[in-house]
Chain A
Amino acid sequence: MEEDAGGKVKKFLYINRKAPYGTIYALESLEVVLISAAFDQDVSLAFLDDGVYQIVKGQHTKPIDVKNFSPTYRALEGYDIEKLYVEKESMEARGLKEEDFIVPVKVIDTADMAELMESQDVIMSF
């Protein structure tokens, strides 16, 4: 599916700050990310605060009767969305390591995260 963006390519950054379950923000953020793939834009994702839990391995949601949508993050590569960033401070504060994530990510500190945000055209925060 290709959408007409009038030839414009912008840098889109999706910031994910909330835990994957408990609220719908993570899932609905991912839905926007998937749609933006059809517009041929330069897309990046950032995971901060409890948002780092969205891509943690071994999510088991059956007891809360909610769909485990974490495998979808692995499908992003197929849509040419490969720039995934995790804020180091958020990750470490939660006792997580890079190998705990289901997708390859780039771990960057708060200062670099600020720089990344600064370099973007469109930021959506969920």
Chain B
Amino acid sequence: MMKLGILINEGPYTHQASDTAYLFTKAAIEKGHKIHRVFFYNDGVYNASRLTEPPQDDRHIVNRWQKLAKDHHIDLVVCVAAALRRGIKDENLQEGFRISGLGQLVETGIQSDRLVTFGD
């Protein structure tokens, strides 16, 4: 069993990063690993927008994270500085995510056995 930290640096749909991170996180949980935290940085903060509305026949990346977090009690943290400069605030933040500081990312690096980055 390993304690993993996940860092996501790209937004949904444009890049595959968030999809891969989701599938990786899900697989890791199924294998019995623990997820210390999923941290959203750079354009990754858009993965937390409650206003996201993909076509019905497509995957809902935001809600998929929300459900995974709810089912497995995963801490989904969105960087406050990155979020504010991109217009992500508490008022449009999806349930299950929380906004916090970059210190939470550094702390994830310290506390996790591995920090796995998903970016471009």
Footprint of B on A, CB under 8 Å? 3, 5-6, 8, 10, 12, 24-25, 28, 31-32, 35-36, 38-39, 41, 121-126
Contact = CB atoms under 8 A, between A and B. Distances in A.
A32 B42 contact: no
B69 interface: no
Q: Which of A5, A38, A123 has the most CB of B within 10 A?
A: A5
B117 A36 contact: no
A39 B119 contact: no
B74 interface: no
Interface of chain A: mostly helix, strand, loop or mixed: mixed
Given A5-B110, A124-B109, A126-B9, A35 B42 contact: no
A121 B110 CA distance: 9
Q: Which interface class (under 10, 10 to 19, 20 to 34, 35 or more) fits B?
A: 10 to 19
Q: Which of A35, A38, A39, A125 has the most CB of B within 10 A?
A: A35
27 contacts: A3-B103, A3-B107, A5-B107, A10-B110, A24-B42, A28-B41, A28-B42, A31-B81, A31-B102, A32-B41, A32-B105, A32-B106, A35-B102, A35-B105, A35-B106, A38-B103, A39-B103, A39-B106, A41-B106, A41-B109, A41-B110, A122-B109, A123-B115, A124-B7, A124-B115, A125-B119, A126-B42
A80 to B, nearest CB: 15
B115 A122 contact: yes
